[in-house]
Structure 1
Amino acid sequence: MERSNNSKSKLPHYVSSKIHPSNDPETDHNSYSLEKFRLYETRQRFYLVGSDRNKQLFRVLKIDRSEPSDLNISEDPVVYSPQEIKNLLQRIAEGNRATGGLNFVVKAYGIAGCIKFLESYYLILVTKRRQIGFICGHAIYGIDESQLITIPHVSVQTDVAHSKTELRASMVFMATKVKILVLMNKVALKLLTLYKKLLSSVDLTKDFFFSYTYPIMQSLQKNVTSMGEDGMPYDNMFVWNAYLTRAIRSRCGNTIWTIALVHGNFKQIRLSIFGRDFSVSLVSRRSRHFAGTRYVLV
């Protein structure tokens, strides 16, 4: 059971109130979480701008779009203020004016994963969320909508039917080769459609939940005793998208861009007994390694 006036002082630092810093210039920029994101695009790159809950601190993740089959991600080490991030986006727009400028793509609330189908990489973004409860003052969210974003620009996506190698082929075999390549393209498109359909069959809007600041994949007792740990424990067996987020986490060296999804159910009710308010939370979690559901009463 969780009392409404429960103190956070006994919780590890990665779930403390420091995760949402103030405007204090001495704030430790490594002790916050990114909760709100805006995705922008140019011909060469995606720019994912993340901010803390109060929109006072901003970070930038750059995703290269010039490679059809490689994932090149770089994290800008600078922590920007609201005015600084506005100026940065203006400079990017001016620098890319000749190739279409900087365009807004979508508003998001975190990266659920990055997946590769056949050749190209795709970004899985949570575009709508809903708050479903609190634990120790930390918000727990469910997913309302998600979106699959193709990373490579359309101009660099491979079209083998028009590759330079084939154009240099002899005219004798050209017709036959073109027919084979067209057939291969059709098969690849069917496979790509099948893979996307299989991914979309996993409905992230049902039975998935997450928190930016509280490791919901662990028990309350574990969180109280796990002092000194940094970042979300993605190696936990209850983190459903550990593999999908591994590429981004390994390249950035942190977990602030991704959200750790738990597959199961979260139910919370508030009660009052003799004038004292408290909440009861029932959390069920499914392991990504073993069948069956694990329940936790908080």
Structure 2
Amino acid sequence: MAKTISELDDSKVILHPYINSLQKLAVYDLKDWLYIVGTNNDQTSFRLLRISRLSVKELEIKDDGLEYTSHEIQTIISKDNKGGKGATRSVSAFGIAGFIRFLEGYYMILITKRRPVAFVGLHYIYKIEETSMFYIPCEAIRMSHSDEPRYLKMFQSVDLSSNFYFSYSYDITNTLQVNMAVPKDSIIPLIQNGPKKKFWDFQIRGEPNRKFVWNEHLTSMVEKKLHCDWIIHITHGFVGQSVLSIFGRPVNITLIARRSNKYAGTRFLKRGANFDGDVANEVETEQIVEDMGVSSWLVCPRISSFVQIRGSIPGHWSQDITKIVAKPAISNDLLILSYKLQVGTSEG
């Protein structure tokens, strides 16, 4: 049976956020394969990801989409490693940030250290403290290239432990209003246990705001191949939180600043707007106020947010760099400026 949410009585619909169950990972190094075992915090449910180590130019990755017990996982690894020297547990992690290839084989980027910095309702937000890059292909088939270390060093110059955040259950790329709103109509398969069913339970995984997903280019090649539990959306910006006492009542103040990945860079190099209407260094700042005195956040949440957006003036400008003066003359093309304003304001 398939229904849309609008076809059901609102008083009988319960919306639950989708919780990414894979919060702990272990990488096992087999002879020809890498096995990534993911599990929840209680280690009661496991998933398995297989990555071939015999492919250099292509990322050969397999996800059966099944859930296993701890005993089943150990049995599979032992069976597949039959005749080998034994599966070596190479590294432990808290998530996969993505995959990247330069001139040789693919690297896997793992989140090896995290720190909780805030919570919204029952959802924790983590800051990335440390990452690790794991070279996937076997060393025996590695295609050495003289420029590989240079590209690797350039990529590693971006410090992923500097103001990058993620959450397993709360979409920090969207505002509170978007996350709390009833999702748009979509056909959702429901199983009704008899005609007297009192409530319909929905588990919701919303679409992230791609503008604020900073690892999208690292996961785009595998996002459609893998179960959604393997995918983590990372945001760059700032997350801070304080608890205040107002007339003896605890109030949680959370500040989330999301930096857009469109036309981002240093102010010396990025100003104005590009031809897609994206302004330089756009930041969406959200202040969330939550009443912590409520006994049950799920039953009657008292929470609100205020959102502000800032960015460069959406203009197209240039200056003559041959003459160094204290105040360089800035020339504006009003026709291009008008076009960019129309493109930028027509979004959404």
Q: TM-score range by the shorter chain?
A: 0.7 to 0.9
Given the alignment of the two structures, is residue 58 of structure 1 paired with residue 32 of structure 2, yes or no?
no
Given the alignment of the two structures, is residue 267 of structure 1 paired with residue 240 of structure 2, yes or no?
yes
Given the alignment of the two structures, is residue 297 of structure 1 paired with residue 287 of structure 2, yes or no?
yes
Q: Deviations over 1:43-82 (max 9, x none)?
A: 1100000001221100000001111211010103321112
What SS does structure 1 have at the residue aligned with 2:217? Answer: coil
- Superposition pairs of residues 73-112 of structure 1, within 5 angstroms: 73-93=61-81, 95-97=82-84, 100-112=85-97
Aligned partners of 2:99, 2:208: CA distance in 1, in Å? 15
Q: Is the 8 A contact 1:36 1:50 kept in 2?
A: yes
Aligned partners of 2:229, 2:221: CA distance in 1, in Å? 13
1:96 Cα deviation after fit: 4.0
Q: Is the 8 A contact 2:238 2:257 kept in 1?
A: yes
Give the TM-score, by structure 2 length. 0.65
Q: Percent of aligned positions with the same letter in both sequences?
A: 34
Given the alignment of the two structures, is residue 122 of structure 1 paired with residue 110 of structure 2, yes or no?
no
Q: Is the 8 A contact 1:12 1:224 kept in 2?
A: no
Which has the greater radius of gyration? 2
The size of the alignment, in residue pairs, is 242
- Superposition pairs of residues 136-147 of structure 1, within 5 angstroms: 136-147=121-132
Q: Is the 8 A contact 1:142 1:209 kept in 2?
A: yes
1:236 Cα deviation after fit: 2.1
Q: Is the 8 A contact 2:238 2:258 kept in 1?
A: yes
User: 1:244 maps to what in 2?
Assistant: 218
1:142 Cα deviation after fit: 0.7
Aligned partners of 1:148, 1:12: CA distance in 2, in Å? 37
What SS does structure 2 have at the residue aligned with 1:203? Answer: coil
- Superposition pairs of residues 1-298 of structure 1, within 5 angstroms: 12-15=15-18, 19=19, 32-93=20-81, 95-97=82-84, 100-158=85-143, 188-189=145-146, 191-227=147-183, 230-231=204-205, 233-234=207-208, 236-252=210-226, 254-290=227-263, 291-298=281-288
Q: CA 1:295/1:104 → structure 2, altered by over 3 Å: closer, same or farther?
A: same
Q: CA 1:77/1:292 → structure 2, altered by over 3 Å: closer, same or farther?
A: closer
Residue identity opposite 1:150 in structure 2: Y
Q: Is the 8 A contact 1:47 1:61 kept in 2?
A: yes
Q: Structure 1: which 4+ aligned runs deviate by more than 4 Å? A: 9-12
CA RMSD of aligned residues (A): 2.1
Q: Is the 8 A contact 1:110 1:125 kept in 2?
A: yes
> Tell me, which stretches of 5 or more residues in structure 1 are unaligned?
1-8, 20-31, 160-187
Aligned partners of 1:226, 1:149: CA distance in 2, in Å? 40
1:86 Cα deviation after fit: 2.6
Higher relative helix content: 1
Q: Is the 8 A contact 1:124 1:148 kept in 2?
A: yes
> Tell me, which stretches of 5 or more residues in structure 2 are unaligned?
1-11, 185-202, 264-280, 289-348
Which 10-residue stretch deviates more, 77-86 or 198-207?
A: 77-86
Aligned partners of 2:105, 2:205: CA distance in 1, in Å? 29
Aligned partners of 1:103, 1:11: CA distance in 2, in Å? 44
Higher RCO, 1 or 2 (CA under 8 Å, sep at least 6)?
Answer: 1
